[in-house]
Amino acid sequence: MGLNKFLFCGALLFAGFIEASPLFAQNENTTKTPKPTIYKRPITRQSAKEIPLLKELSFGINFSSIGWGAAVERLVRDEEADGLLYKGYYADIAQIYHLRENKTASILKNPNGDNASGNINYVYGKINSFFPITLGYMMRKNISGKLAYNHIQIHVLGGAGLSIGLVKPYYLQIARKDLTGNFVPIDEKYSEANALQFLDKRFIYGYSGFSKGWVDADVNIGAQIKSAIQFEYNPSRNSPLYVEIGGAVNAYLQQVKLMNSTDNKAVFPSIYCSIKKGFRW
């Protein structure tokens, strides 16, 4: 009996322990202090400050009421000026035409043979071609606000410079008889001695070509002033595109004789449009 009682008491104690263990665990969980939640501040990175673009180089093509040309500009931003102000230098080369110039086709067959292309064109009455090269100083000011991406900016500009005009004789292929009595083309520039043939369409085969006459070119010194309004488009911050509309005046010390006429002049006013590609750094 003693052993049975001992086993019975042990079973009761074990059952009581199993019954009390969930309550003990639950009581332990309810009394345990929860850990505080820590909120981490998100990391924010400030964007690097944009480096100011102070220098600019641009190239373009000019179309004017008296000719055409090509230009290059080298500008530097003035950091002390109010607004966006650029100063620098420009250079352009152009060809100036007389208003009476008009190309015509020769009435004579092409002297280069039957297999050559059609009769050669030339400008009747033209005696010289004129190519001014201008080196000048210019300023450009923004009038529409600060530079922004993908926006159109508006500038005004002005410039003045020295213009070196190259006066190149206009050569024609003139029909001359050779020793056999046949007519052959001879490259000639205008002179009083050949004026009758040079201005007679029956003796003109056509223009001798752009390369003829450079060794005979003269220099005519002058000056240029210009002003314009310029529209800038920014596909990227350092690669602008420009459309420029303005006026210019070229004046020279001597009259430029472009045509065999009395209406040649030394001053050439014009309006022009320019398209340019720029680079900033």
Is residue 5 one of the residues assigned to a domain? no
pTM of the complete model: 0.79
pLDDT of residue 51: 77
Is residue 90 one of the residues assigned to a domain? yes
Is residue 162 one of the residues assigned to a domain? yes
pLDDT of residue 171: 98
Number of domains present in the structure of the chain: 1
Cα separations in angstroms, 131 against 154, 168, 225, 257, 258: 31, 8, 17, 12, 11
pLDDT of residue 67: 97
Is residue 204 one of the residues assigned to a domain? yes
Is residue 173 one of the residues assigned to a domain? yes
- Here the CATH number for the domain that contains residue 105 is 2.40.160.20
Cα separations in angstroms, 260 against 126, 212, 264: 6, 19, 9
pLDDT of residue 214: 97
Its domain, for residue 119, covers 55-280
**Tokens found for residue 248:** 């210019």
Place of tokens 């320019």: 274
How far apart are alpha carbons 266 and 271 in whole angstroms?
A: 17
Is residue 46 one of the residues assigned to a domain? no
pLDDT of residue 16: 55
Is residue 214 one of the residues assigned to a domain? yes
- Residuewise pLDDT in 10s, the chain (281 residues): 555 555 555 555 555 555 555 544 455 455 556 666 665 555 555 455 667 789 999 999 999 999 999 999 999 999 988 878 999 999 999 999 999 999 999 999 888 765 566 789 999 999 999 999 999 999 999 998 766 656 889 999 999 999 999 999 999 999 999 999 899 999 999 999 999 999 999 999 999 999 999 999 999 999 999 999 999 998 887 899 999 999 999 999 999 999 998 899 999 999 999 999 999 99
CB-based contacts of 127, cutoff 8 Å, min separation 6: 169, 170, 189, 190, 198, 257, 258, 259, 260
Is residue 43 one of the residues assigned to a domain? no
Length of the chain: 281
The count of C-alpha atoms lying within 13 angstroms of the C-alpha of 214, restricted to the half-sphere facing its C-beta, is 5
